[in-house]
Amino acid sequence: MCGKSCRKQPGLKEQCKSGTEGHPFICGTCGKALSCHSRLAAHQTVHTGTRSFECFECGQTFRWVSNLLRHQRNHTSEKPFCCEVCGQAFSLKDRLAQHRKIHTEHRPYVCSDCGKAFKQKSNLLRHKLVHTGERPFYCDNCGKAFRTKENLSHHQRIHSGEKPYTCGECGKAFRWPKGFSIHQRLHLTKRFYECEHCGKGFRHLGFFTRHQRTHGHGEV
């Protein structure tokens, strides 16, 4: 025995014995050495492409359970990672890390074509597609092309009918986060101007004033 403990992976027997006479377990495909059988089995999925963890909502499969759990937040709208500066919430920790950079002024990634600077390299690469006109991501259903994989993913929901963003207040579902965010403001926004005659509420003074005239009062 090597005295090491390994995290048990579903569907695999936990075996943490070292190989014969202390030799590690070797991957027959790439030659990588692993300390125990369970780690070797997990590593081999890289070569086999086995995806054992399936999302019960949309059927998408994943190689690791951690990736499945991250994905499932798209269906639940769970956003446990909050920015301590502005309060914006994110479903993934790495997205929060990227977001934090907007609160600094440092923009180290500069476009060689137009001079526009970015805080993240990924944003620069995405911006460069504007100059090249390249749209490398194609929809298998209709052939429409997109500059980014994210835009393609959002487009494909038109074909699948998937609406992963659900309002916790009224249950209405949305395909895209922007529409979901706009909708949520309807529940969060207070109605500041209330008509004393009929009780109707308004968010804007102009609409409230116009409504007051229906009761015969031209002034607020």
pLDDT band, very low/low/confident/very high, at 9 (cuts 50, 70, 90) = very low
User: What's the pTM?
Assistant: 0.35
pLDDT beyond 50 at 19: no
Distance CA 18, CA 31 (A): 16
Q: What is the pLDDT of residue 5?
A: 44
pLDDT digits (tens, 9 = 90+) for 51-106: 777 887 777 888 777 777 777 777 766 778 888 878 888 877 888 887 887 777 77
Nearest of 70, 64, 69 to residue 9 by alpha carbon: 64
Q: In this predicted model, which residue has the larger pLDDT, 191 or 13?
A: 191
- Helix and strand numbers (H, E) in the chain are 7, 14
In DSSP notation, 130-177 reads HHH----EE-TTT--EESSHHHHHHHHHHHH----EE-TTT--EESSH
Average pLDDT over residues 9-15: 40
Poorest-pLDDT segment among 19-23, 33-37, 107-111, 166-170: 19-23
pLDDT beyond 60 at 11: no
Q: What is the pLDDT of residue 188?
A: 65
Distance CA 68, CA 74 (A): 10
Angle at 25 between CA 24 and CA 30, to 5 degrees: 115
Burial of 36 (C-beta count, 10 Å sphere; 0-12/13-18/19+): buried
pLDDT band, very low/low/confident/very high, at 142 (cuts 50, 70, 90) = very high
pLDDT digits (tens, 9 = 90+) for 150-174: 888 888 888 988 888 888 777 888 8
Q: What is the pLDDT of residue 14?
A: 39
Q: What is the pLDDT of residue 63?
A: 75
